[in-house]
Amino acid sequence: QPDQPRIVFLFSDTGGGHRSASEAIIEAIQLEYPNQFTTEMVDIFLQYAPSPFNLAPRVYPPLSRMPDVWKFGYQISDGPRRANMVYNAIWPYVRRSIHRLIHENPCDLIVSVHPLINAPVLRALRKETVPYITVVTDMVSTHAAWYNPNADLVIVPTEAAKERAVKVGVAVEKVQVVGLPVADRFCQPVGDKLALREQLGWPQDRPVVLLVGGGEGMGPLEQVARAIEKRSPNAALVVITGRNRKLKATLEAHKWSIPTFVYGFVRDMPDFMRAADILVSKAGPGTICEAFIAGLPIILYSKMPGQEDGNVTYVVQQGAGIWAPEPNQVADAVCRWIESPEEREKAAQNCLRVARPDAARQIARILASAARKKQQGG
C-alpha cells in the first residue's frame, strides 16, 4: 500500500533470535494496527553484505560451537572505541552495499534488531532523515555494537542493558526499557496443562522435563539427557533437537529407560512450554523470556560466552532458575525440583514476576508512532 507508513526491519539469521524478534514485532504491529502499516524484513548479511560478510549466516552455527573463538571475537570488539576501529576498517568494503540497501528500501522508519549493522547503516544514513530505532535482543550483557549515539531510540529488555547503553555513550533519554519481543502465541493465557499433555501424548502422572538447545540444538544435549535419565527415573523427558538432525538420530536410536519424546525443530513451542514442568535450556534470550511468560522454571546448562553471560546471572538473581554447567549438575537440579515441588513453584512464580508478555505490543506502539510522525513530515 503506497499510502501506508513503511517500516523496514534489518535482521540476520545469526542466532540470538533476531528473526524471531522482528517477526514478533511485525505480528504485534498487525495485531495493534491491522492493515495500517507496510513492513519488510531485510536480511542484511544475505541480501546486502559483500563477500565475505555475506557468509555470516552460514558461518554462525559452526562458529557458535567454538566458544573460545567466539569469546575472543566478542571481547576484542566489545567497547565503543574498539567497535569503532573495526567499523572504520571495514567501511570501505561495505559502504556501497549499505547505500544500496538504503536506496532500495525507502521507508518511514528503520528498525534494527541486530548489533552488527548499526554503525555502518547510521553512517550511511547521515544525510538522510529516516528515523532509526534499535531493538536490542540480548538481555543483560549487551555488546557495545548494539549502541550508537546516532540512533533515535534504543529499546532494551532490562535495566542492566539500559545502564550499559548509557555507559557506552547513548543519551539516557534515548534509551527505553520495554522487554524482549516475544511472539503472540507465547503471550496467550497458559490454559489447561493436563489437556495439553494429553494432546501431545505425554504422560500425566510424572513431571515432564523439556530439554532445548536453542534453534540449532546446541550444547551437550545428549549427555544432559542421559544424566537426567540415569538420575530421575520418575521423570519424563522431552528433547527438542532444533535443526540438529544428527543429534535427533542419535537420541532416537537410544533405548530410554524413562518415557522420552524426541522432536526436531518444533513449531508448537508455546504449547510445549505450557505443558512441561521444568525447562532445561542453553541461555538463549528468546527461550528464557518465553519460559518466563509460561511460568516455567529454568535450568541453564550452557551459554554463549559474552552475550549470554548476563542471561544466566539474571535468571539466577531473579530466583527463576538454576545454573548447572555440567550434565550431572543439571540432573541434580532436576532431582531437587522434582523432590521439592514448593521450591519449583517458587521459581515458577518468579518467572511470571519478571515476564513481559506485553513487550512486543509496546514496541509496536512506539514504532507505529515514530513511522507515522515521519510520514506526516515530523
If one asks whether residue 284 binds ligand UDP (CB under 6 A), the answer comes out as yes
Restricting to residues 18-57, name those near ligand UDP by CB under 6 A. 20
For the bound state, the minimum distance from the C-beta of residue 128 to ligand UDP, rounded and expressed in Å, comes to 31
| Beta bridge pairs of residue 112 | 10, 134
Stretch that binds ligand UDP, among 90-98, 167-175, 210-218, 315-323 (CB under 6 A): 210-218
Stretch that binds ligand UDP, among 38-46, 158-166, 192-200, 208-216 (CB under 6 A): 208-216
For the bound state, the minimum distance from the C-beta of residue 27 to ligand UDP, rounded and expressed in Å, comes to 13
Alpha-carbon distance of 259 to 291, in angstroms, equals 23
For the bound state, the minimum distance from the C-beta of residue 298 to ligand UDP, rounded and expressed in Å, comes to 11
Looking at residue 130, the DSSP 8-state letter turns out to be: -
If one asks whether residue 295 binds ligand UDP (CB under 6 A), the answer comes out as no
If one asks whether residue 271 binds ligand UDP (CB under 6 A), the answer comes out as no
Stretch that binds ligand UDP, among 1-9, 25-33, 283-291, 311-319 (CB under 6 A): 283-291
Closest C-alpha among 214, 221, 212, 182 to residue 64: 214
If one asks whether residue 265 binds ligand UDP (CB under 6 A), the answer comes out as yes
For the bound state, the minimum distance from the C-beta of residue 268 to ligand UDP, rounded and expressed in Å, comes to 8
Q: List Cβ neighbours of 209 (8 Å cut-off, separation of 6 or more).
A: 228, 232, 235, 236, 237, 238, 276, 277, 278, 279, 280, 334
For the bound state, the minimum distance from the C-beta of residue 269 to ligand UDP, rounded and expressed in Å, comes to 4
- What is the DSSP track for 136-159? --S-SS--GGG--TTSSEEEESSH
Alpha-carbon distance of 87 to 93, in angstroms, equals 10
- What is the DSSP track for 245-297? HHHHHHHHHS--SS-EEEESS-S-HHHHHHH-SEEEEE--HHHHHHHHHHT--
Interface with ligand UDP (CB under 6 A), residue from 142, 260, 287, 307: 287
Per-residue buried b or exposed e for 207-221, using 16+ beta carbons within 10 Å of the residue's own CB: bbbbbbbbbbbbbbb
| Beta bridge pairs of residue 8 | 40, 110
Stretch that binds ligand UDP, among 29-37, 92-100, 229-237, 263-271 (CB under 6 A): 263-271
Nearer to ligand UDP, 240 or 351 (CB): 240
Nearer to ligand UDP, 216 or 277 (CB): 216
Interface with ligand UDP (CB under 6 A), residue from 181, 286, 310, 321: 286
Restricting to residues 84-143, name those near ligand UDP by CB under 6 A. none
- Entry field: residues in the chain: 378
By three-state DSSP, how is residue 302 classified?
strand
For the bound state, the minimum distance from the C-beta of residue 291 to ligand UDP, rounded and expressed in Å, comes to 9
Alpha-carbon distance of 79 to 147, in angstroms, equals 10
Nearer to ligand UDP, 107 or 182 (CB): 182
Interface with ligand UDP (CB under 6 A), residue from 27, 43, 108, 216: 216
Contact indicator for 321, 347 with CB cutoff of 8 Å: yes
Per the omega criterion (within 30 degrees of 0), is the bond before 327 cis? Answer: no
Backbone angles phi, psi at 61, to 5 degrees: -60, -50
Nearer to ligand UDP, 212 or 359 (CB): 212
If one asks whether residue 15 binds ligand UDP (CB under 6 A), the answer comes out as yes
Restricting to residues 141-180, name those near ligand UDP by CB under 6 A. none
Interface with ligand UDP (CB under 6 A), residue from 5, 115, 120, 242: 242
If one asks whether residue 269 binds ligand UDP (CB under 6 A), the answer comes out as yes
Alpha-carbon distance of 104 to 205, in angstroms, equals 57
If one asks whether residue 181 binds ligand UDP (CB under 6 A), the answer comes out as no
Residue showing cell 521459581: 347
Q: Which residues contact ligand UDP (rule: CB under 6 A)?
A: 15-17, 20, 212, 214-216, 240, 242, 265-266, 269, 284-287, 290
